[in-house]
Amino acid sequence: MKEYNFLKMQKRLCKYMDEDRFVHTMGVMYTSCALAMRYGINMEKARVAGLLHDSAKCMPNSKKLKICKRENIPVTDVEMENPFLLHAKLGVYIAREKYGVEDREILQAIRYHNTGRPEMTLLEKIIYIADYIEPNRDKAPNLPQVRRLAFVDLDESMYVILRDTLSYLEEGGGSIDRTTEKAYAFYKKIHERKESENG
């Protein structure tokens, strides 16, 4: 695997982020590493994906839309109205173009960190979950339980996080991505299968 200069990448990233976002980013990076240790996947990949997952988050919305147009990145109606949703797709672009990341697994983990999807890879689940549980987070319900669960069962964690995220979005009237609904249906099925097996 390619050698990454983390200090250099962090210094660069820091220039494109506000302080809170950078603190969150460091939290996601180290939480991803811890989960990679727990589940025996490549820690460097988790570290790079965690570090770069929000690399496009602080870009002005107008610039997000401009780059999508220039790079032929498809923009849905929902994304047009809420350009912050584009930061996952654009994060892939930034990781590739500005940080030289070519690893498909890393890029996919950045791509799906916001919506999730059915049949996620281990790395995708780890980044998605780390984003939700990293130590600076404090608003989500059930955080202590989800933090513990993350180190016990990734699929069950996905189920709980997607469930809570969807109900939060429904209550707040936020727009819901179809991919998130599909992801929830997928992990709910796994949850129910386990329930019936355990009687």
3-state helix, strand, coil in the chain (%, to 5): 70, 0, 30
Question: Looking at beta carbons only, is 137 or 191 nearer to Fe ion?
Answer: 137
From the list 52-60, 63-71, 120-128, 168-176, the region that binds Fe ion by CB under 5 A is 52-60
* 54 makes contact with Fe ion (CB under 5 A): yes
From the list 30-38, 42-50, 131-139, 188-196, the region that binds Fe ion by CB under 5 A is 131-139
Instruction: Please report where in the chains the tokens 């996905």 appear, as a residue.
Output: 158
CB of 53 to Fe ion, least distance (A): 6
- List, in sequence order, the alpha helices (H) in 40-115: 43-52, 61-70, 77-81, 87-99, 104-111
Residue from 79, 124, 131, 177 binding Fe ion (CB under 5 A): 131
* 177 makes contact with Fe ion (CB under 5 A): no
Question: Looking at beta carbons only, is 61 or 193 nearer to Fe ion?
Answer: 61
CB of 89 to Fe ion, least distance (A): 11
> 199: how many CB neighbours lie within 10 A of its CB?
4
CB of 130 to Fe ion, least distance (A): 9
Measure the CA–CA gap between 166 and 102, rounded to whole angstroms.
32
> 81: how many CB neighbours lie within 10 A of its CB?
9
From the list 33-41, 118-126, 130-138, 159-167, the region that binds Fe ion by CB under 5 A is 130-138
CB of 192 to Fe ion, least distance (A): 28
Task: Give first-to-last CA distance, the chain, whole Å.
Answer: 44
> 135: Cβ–Cβ under 8 A, 6 or more apart, which residues?
27, 31
* 134 makes contact with Fe ion (CB under 5 A): no
Q: Which residues bind Fe ion (CB under 5 A)?
A: 54, 131
